Structure 1
Amino acid sequence: MPYSGAILPFNTSDRVPKSSLLLAVLLVGCSMITSTTFGYDASMVNGLNILPSYANYFNTNNTVNLSLNTASVWIGGILAGLSFGKVTDIIGRRPSLFWAAIITLFAVILQTAAQNVGMFVAARILIGYGTSASALTGPAYLAETLPFKWRGWGLGIFNDFYYVGGLIAAGITYATSFWSSTWAWRLPSAIQGIFSIMCIIILPFIPESPRWLVYQGRTEEALRVVARTHSNGDMNDPITITQYKEIIDTIDYEKNTAKPLSMTQMVKTPSARKRVILCTSVAVFSTLAGNVIVSYYLGSMLDNAGIKDTTTQLQINVILNAFCLVCALVGTYYIDRIGRKATALISISSLTVFLFLVGALTKLYGNSTNNAGIYATVAMIFLFQGAYSFGWTPLLYVYPPEVLNYAIRANGMGVLQLALNGTALMAVFAFPFALADIGWKTYMINAAWDALEVPFVWWYWVETAGKTLEEIDELLDGVKHSNAPDLEQVMRGEVQAGRERGSLEIEKSVVVAGDGKE
């Protein structure tokens, strides 16, 4: 029996705008607010780790306490990766975003009120669950709902707003750093809940994923959503008809696959395994690129570089987040123009060089009074983060939902979160000890790992730019599971699509070069 979606405490059918442009803005707006929460959280903790009032309250001068308070968020992320993909498939994409926001909001209240390390860590685990649940659902939802011409931009900017949250948190923690009371860290914690509230406010005005609706047998609703997202509500528009037919045919094919939506489906066939490997490679490569050190332990990096003043470190944190946001937006702009693979290769190659230079300059000038050398190190940290932001920030949530087909998309995004949070948990726990014990060598080891990522991406990745989710199947399965023409052919006028008497009819036009006649 098809699921009705009643678990969401509001109905949206009359509130969804018919303007495709306005709807795209609302879709991206709701989803990017969820990533703003995660970016805010990372930058806030980075700032809190620098604040004396926070360090004294939780005794984070103890490396174990520092690692536990910082890394506990990833424990919640691992739990979300294991469980929330199935939830998203069962109750739908929109309701999943709603409940993820509710969990995050509750956790923020708990974190703000924390009285000891145990209470703070429990709140951090719940925040990790809620934000990772949003990060699991949001990209799948956007990929399935946005028109493909806006998909790269929409999914890219989804994660770009990580730095918007980071910039806001950096500014707030800098402002509260002059306070001596516990509100120096409680207020930044409380403000984090605003983003979840904003997400909940937007949800009544956006539709459910058309692909989820088709899978539930709610095909007429799905057609209305496709029309609203592609053609301002015109259900007879050729582009709407073509995209709808692709979805219908492909979902019908996948529903007839043994045990669809199950975890075993992800390893059943060579193409499914390749999809999961591609998805997982994004999580592992982006997390272990070295950005975790900068994102959570910038203070330690700057200490090693020779900048030990708390106010200066917090100022650098603000400027760095602003710089990274600009680089991420530039990467998002180019991701459709130069393609996913080229973006990844430029990013990995550049950040590897800059991380080697961070290590070398830290060794040479870390304990010196040479201001030129110290600020050269800071410049390399900025360039490293800029190169990372150009590629991995947009790619993290653009590429995985594209290479995963519907039958494994939600569970595959769960695997992404599991790999992302698992590797991050390891890195966030390990890096403080590495920085304390081997210092600059940590960067060299990390950069050597980054160099190994380049040949893998060059050889194994497939290019997904310029194709609908159903057309990407042909790259990985060797066949497209629909007889509908490619959407770009319809947009160029090479193929005509019509809808007559409630059925779909696709007609191919042969254009004679030179005179334009059929």
Structure 2
Amino acid sequence: MENIENKPDNNQVEYSATTPAQGGDVAGPPTGNGGKLNSFVFALAAFAALGNVLYGYNQGVMAVILDMPQFLDQFPQIDASKSSGAGFLKGLMTAIVEFGAMFGSLSCGYLADRYSRKRTIFFGSIGFMIGLVLQIASQDYAMLVIGRFLSGWGIGVFSMVAPLYVSELAPTRWRGALLAMAGWSILVGTSISFWISYGTRFINSSWCFRLPFAIQLIPAIGLAAGTFLLPYSPRWLAAQDRHGEGLTVLCRLRGCSVDHPDAATMAEWTEILIAVQLDRCALTETHGNVTPGSLKWEFLRWRDLFSTRAMLRRFVVACGLFWFQQLGGIDALLYYGPSFFESLSYGATEQLNWSGIINCMNLAGGTTTMFTTDRFGRKKLLIAGAIIITSCHAVLAGLIGAYSSDWANHQGAAKAGVAMLVIFMFFQGATFGPTPAVVCNEIFPYRHRARGVAFGIANEWLANFTVGLIAPPLLDASAWGTFVFFGGCTFLSLFFVIFIVPETKGVLLETMDVIFNDRVADEDAKMRAAITSELQAEPPIQEIK
């Protein structure tokens, strides 16, 4: 193996980490400017994102189904003309998916580290399909809610593990784009489900809503079967001491020969080994000899998530972005779009047509993130999004407050409101849609990544559940007040992004700690130097015979 130290590459293993005790500043983290995106990596990322398509599909499918007469006849509890508590029960039935997803994402911290990322995707597929069968066959409200909860568990697994898996396969230069594609696939699923349910509403039986549920079985079965063909994450293999397999997979991902890996690939592999070994040493020093995989081990690893100020800052960043994403009102408008257009005095067909249009605009905006996330950086997109989205909410609140009592004589104002909603959906998809998930999957160190991402995604689902539950009564009480609330939350997010969220564009996952001032102490620097010397003295390439 070539001597990595002498390569003038931003992916090289060592980096300066002077400490305050040394009187220096913390050096910036190495940035990965190398790494080609080959067709194999792209295909893996696209396949893993299929789970997010199912996630988006399940979100969007209810927008049309909620207003189907056959659905309301089957479940009269959510029909306002038949039940006094219809608003709450509708919100609960819609949002219970998010509640199940919260538990699904939390369970992934353990599952993804113990059984691997790809096997956890398989577990999620099975749970999703069990819940889906219950929804298809549901005869009463309770059965439907239980089925949606179980499907939600599977969706929570997809939403956490798919981007985690992609982040560990992607070259640094393309990581943001591929993670954005995972987020974009949610929007694809949302749009597909809307138009499928739009078409099935003409079926004059309960299959008008059961068929959109059943269609999801096809990709779910394909996802479960396909996981047997996926490679393990190189980082997970390194953590299992399966170094030969890990290097083989990484070489294939980077498109180089296993027998003669290029210097950049070897530098990346060495950095992975250093990060895994450093985390392992830190765990041993903190807790002593605890059996890996035991309940005590699991408890201690969860406790360590909140052990330092730097880790708490990571959680503030990840959870804060997800809460601001949901408090911006995106899912409320996706779920209850037809109800909003009904308030503008639009007919039933126009309500659905415009709901479909705003879904497509959200998808169009999300498509741009695959090209803008790595070019402009995460922070700039979020700042631009906060400004534009706040402005749209402010205009919408003003128009609804001034003209909602007489839209018929103020059609210009109604059209302006629709235009603001279209602009909001595009820029939400282009900024706050996929970007929080990108940041969340980047900022946690390997030892805490699975659980950190799980906790962050769980907060996304908790926020989603909360907004889905409160949106119907909010809209019923005051439509303009609802947009004031959403706009106020988005305005606060502007300051959160400016002062709290760091820029992670181009930073290697293994060196993200430098941004959060995690490893600048002399002890950690010495530990890292010792591990680096040991690994370079015995090159990893020798493990493949």
**TM score, norm. by length of structure 1:** 0.87
Residue aligning to 2:136: 112
Determine the C-alpha separation between the residues in 2 that align with 1:149 and 1:432: 42
Determine the C-alpha separation between the residues in 1 that align with 2:414 and 2:129: 41
Shift of 1:45: 0.8
Alignment of 1:287-326 (within 5 A): 287-307=326-346, 309-326=347-364
**TM score, norm. by length of structure 2:** 0.83
The answer on whether the counterparts of 2:101 and 2:152 sit within 8 Å (CA) in structure 1 is yes
Shift of 1:81: 3.2
2:68 alignment partner AA: L
Residue 290 of structure 2 is aligned to residue 265 of structure 1: no
Residue aligning to 1:101: 125
Q: Which of 432, 452, 471 is the matching residue for 2:492?
A: 452
* Superimposed CA distance per residue, residues 183-233 of structure 1 (whole angstroms, 9 cap, x where no aligned partner): 110000111222212323432332111111111111111111111111344
The answer on whether the counterparts of 2:136 and 2:214 sit within 8 Å (CA) in structure 1 is yes
Residue aligning to 1:284: 323
* Superimposed CA distance per residue, residues 139-182 of structure 1 (whole angstroms, 9 cap, x where no aligned partner): 11111121112211110010101121111111111111122311
Residue aligning to 1:256: 281
How many aligned residue pairs are there? 473
Q: Which of 310, 326, 345 is the matching residue for 2:383?
A: 345
2:368 alignment partner AA: V
* Superimposed CA distance per residue, residues 29-50 of structure 1 (whole angstroms, 9 cap, x where no aligned partner): 1221111111111110111113
Alignment of 1:355-504 (within 5 A): 355-367=393-405, 368-369=407-408, 370-477=410-517, 479=519, 502-503=539-540
The answer on whether the counterparts of 2:383 and 2:498 sit within 8 Å (CA) in structure 1 is yes
The answer on whether the counterparts of 2:37 and 2:174 sit within 8 Å (CA) in structure 1 is no
The answer on whether the counterparts of 1:339 and 1:464 sit within 8 Å (CA) in structure 2 is yes
SS at match of 2:61: helix
Mark the CA change 1:56 to 1:379 in structure 2 (over 3 Å): closer, same or farther. farther
Determine the C-alpha separation between the residues in 2 that align with 1:417 and 1:463: 20
Determine the C-alpha separation between the residues in 2 that align with 1:503 and 1:461: 36
SS at match of 1:161: helix
Determine the C-alpha separation between the residues in 2 that align with 1:321 and 1:434: 22
Q: Which of 27, 42, 55 is the matching residue for 2:72?
A: 55
- How big is the alpha-carbon RMSD for the aligned residues of Structure 1 and Structure 2? 2.1
Identity %: 25
1:366 alignment partner AA: S
The answer on whether the counterparts of 1:40 and 1:166 sit within 8 Å (CA) in structure 2 is yes
Mark the CA change 1:383 to 1:20 in structure 2 (over 3 Å): closer, same or farther. closer
Determine the C-alpha separation between the residues in 1 that align with 2:358 and 2:153: 27
Determine the C-alpha separation between the residues in 2 that align with 1:311 and 1:36: 26
* Superimposed CA distance per residue, residues 239-277 of structure 1 (whole angstroms, 9 cap, x where no aligned partner): 110000100011100011235861111111121111122
Mark the CA change 1:503 to 1:217 in structure 2 (over 3 Å): closer, same or farther. closer
SS at match of 1:208: coil
Residue 146 of structure 2 is aligned to residue 126 of structure 1: no
Shift of 1:404: 0.8
Determine the C-alpha separation between the residues in 2 that align with 1:397 and 1:240: 26
* Superimposed CA distance per residue, residues 335-356 of structure 1 (whole angstroms, 9 cap, x where no aligned partner): 1111111111111111111011
Listed as ranges, the gaps of 5+ residues in structure 2 are 1-35, 80-85, 288-296
Determine the C-alpha separation between the residues in 2 that align with 1:22 and 1:202: 17
Determine the C-alpha separation between the residues in 2 that align with 1:233 and 1:155: 26
Listed as ranges, the gaps of 5+ residues in structure 1 are 1-18, 485-497, 506-518
2:138 alignment partner AA: A
Residue aligning to 1:490: none
Q: Which of 43, 54, 73 is the matching residue for 2:60?
A: 43
Mark the CA change 1:483 to 1:322 in structure 2 (over 3 Å): closer, same or farther. farther
Alignment of 1:170-189 (within 5 A): 170-189=194-213
